[in-house]
A and B are shown apart, each in its own frame.
Chain A
Amino acid sequence: MSDLVKEGEEFLRKLDELGRVKRRWVSKDEEDTDPRYGYPPYRRPIDLYIRKGLIVIDKPPGPTSHEVVAWIKKMFGLEKAGHGGTLEPAHP
């Protein structure tokens, strides 16, 4: 198994743990991944890391979540950012 595939597997195991998914993995087929395309999530170049990233914001009392999202968008110079309320992720 290539290091990239191992890294991907480890990342998904970490996601399962975070999301409390207790299911086991089963294999149907095996294949390698081409290092020329895409990136392991934590090793994305910074601009892509931002575009495909989320921040958990400590929202001060006062401004609404919508206002805070608008400020975040402006700070990052993004057109697309979303929220689901306080302590919720931005949509990728």
Chain B
Amino acid sequence: MHSRKEYVALMELHREVDPEKVTAVLKQFVGRIYQRPPLRSSVKRALRIREIYYIEPLEFQDRYVLFRVGCQSGTYIRKLCHDVGLVLGVEAHMRELRRTATGHFREENGVYTLHEVSEALYLWRRYRYEELLRKIMQPAELIVANLPKIVIRDGAVDAIAHGAQLAVPGILRLHEGISKGERVAMFTLKGELVAIGRAAMDTNEILESKRGVAVRIERVFMEPGTYPSMWKRRKSCE
């Protein structure tokens, strides 16, 4: 998941500092910053550059600073707090952290507690009441909402579900400006995610071509047999 993240963090300064000064230092961290992953981390501890898109102080109370931060995936907020403390000259550490967005999934658009999930499942299993479950779940298609898209014909779906590459004749419509090597998502006419892959042709080449591999498939989501296998039929006719 390499999408951008947003957090609300509570930082504790080790001595009280004027809020204006804290705000000024926080603003200095907007942009590209160096970070070394902390000792207890799951990635290689090499110095790396992460981008901070915005930092917005929300509240100041004594030595506590509550702020919102938008940043690149893989940014350590604990480290950010520590470094802000160093620049302020008083030292600081992170007290609490809550992620408020990952890519386009935002807290205000609906997050559900384990209790709510449990209740929705119970209502469905015990009373066949589906509505709550349908409300708290979203189609997995939303995960690839940010990708350029290609719509393919029914007859091309099962071949891809069986591991074929996407060939030009299978394509019905597509996004403008797809470039060679770019990751794309392929959908049925009904809007179901079939697979994701890397474009082997750009949009114009696809529009002008009659044959050839248009997309090299990386991962298939559609189960084989969901759509009829025209490709098998065609083969047996030959």
Contacts and interface: CB of A to CB of B under 8 A. Distances in A.
Interface of A: 4-5, 7-9, 11-12, 15-16, 18-21, 23-34, 37-42, 44, 46, 49-50, 52-58, 60-61, 68, 71-72, 75-76, 84-92
20 contacts: A4-B189, A9-B191, A16-B149, A19-B146, A19-B147, A21-B148, A25-B174, A28-B171, A28-B172, A41-B192, A49-B133, A49-B137, A52-B221, A54-B137, A56-B110, A56-B138, A61-B96, A75-B121, A87-B101, A87-B105
B149 to A, nearest CB: 6
B78 to A, nearest CB: 14
Contacts, number: 190
B189 A75 contact: no
Contact of A88 (B102, B121, B138, B177): B102
Given A26-B176, A46-B133, 8 more contacts: A5-B190, A38-B190, A40-B190, A40-B192, A46-B130, A49-B134, A56-B110, A89-B143
Contacts of B140: 52-54, 89-92
Contact of B151 (A7, A12, A38): A12
B39 interface: no
B112 A57 contact: yes
A11 B99 contact: no
B206 interface: yes
A38 to B, nearest CB: 5
A87 B191 contact: no
Classify the interface of chain B: helix, strand, loop or mixed: mixed
Given A23-B148, A26-B207, A33-B190, A41 B105 contact: no
B67 to A, nearest CB: 18
Given A19-B147, A53-B139, A37 B111 contact: no
B112 A75 contact: no
Contacts of B109: 56
Nearest to A86: B99
B227 interface: yes
A41 B134 CA distance: 11
B62 interface: no
Contacts of B177: 23
A84 B139 contact: no
B33 interface: no
A12 B150 CA distance: 10
A58 B113 contact: yes
Contacts of B138: 53-56
Contact of A29 (B105, B113, B172): B172
A50 B175 contact: no
A39 B187 CA distance: 12
Given A57-B112, A88-B1, A89-B140, A38 B221 contact: no
Nearest to A45: B130
B114 interface: yes
Nearest to B120: A55
B14 interface: no
A50 B226 CA distance: 16
